[in-house]
Amino acid sequence: MEFKSEYYTSWEDYVHENEIDTENEDVIKANTQSYEEMVFDFTMWLVM
């Protein structure tokens, strides 16, 4: 049961939409996707 939204960019979406240096994908993901997750967590905090 995957969470999807027009306003949420998963890492797979991000890779698809951006030119990602595949050799360094691990560090790019660690320093990019975490901020998407931070926005998600903050959003949920605001409505709970």
Partner 1 sequence: MDSMLEQTKETHQLFVDIDEGRIPKRVPVHTWLDISYVIQYAGMDMRRANWDVENFKNLFDLSAKTFKSDINAVDITRFIPVYNILGAVNFVLGSSGQIQHPEVKGMEADEYEELIADPYKFIHDKLLPRLYKKLDANPAQRAIAFSKAMKAQSDIFGHIIAHQDSLAEKYGLAYERVGCQTVAPFDLIADQFRGFSEMSKDIRRYPDQVVRACEAVLPMLIKAGIKPHSSRQKRTFMPLHMAPYLRLSDFEKFYWPTFKRLIEALWAAGAAPLLFVEQDWTRFLDHLNELPAGTQMMFEYGDPKVIKEKVGKKHIISGLYPLTLLSKGTKQECIDKAKELIDILAPGGNYIFSFDKIALNLNDANPENIIAVNEFVREYGVY
Residues near partner 1, by CB under 8 A: 1-8, 38-48
Query: Which long-range contacts does 9-15 make (Cβ < 8 Å, 24+ apart)?
Result: 9/36, 10/36
- Compare residues 22 and 34 and give the one whose CB is closer to partner 1: 34
Q: How far is the CB of 25 from partner 1 (least distance, A)?
A: 18
Structure-token match 């905090």, residue found: 45
- Compare residues 6 and 19 and give the one whose CB is closer to partner 1: 6
Q: Give the Cα-Cα-Cα angle 20, 44, 25 (nearest 5 degrees).
A: 15
- Compare residues 19 and 47 and give the one whose CB is closer to partner 1: 47
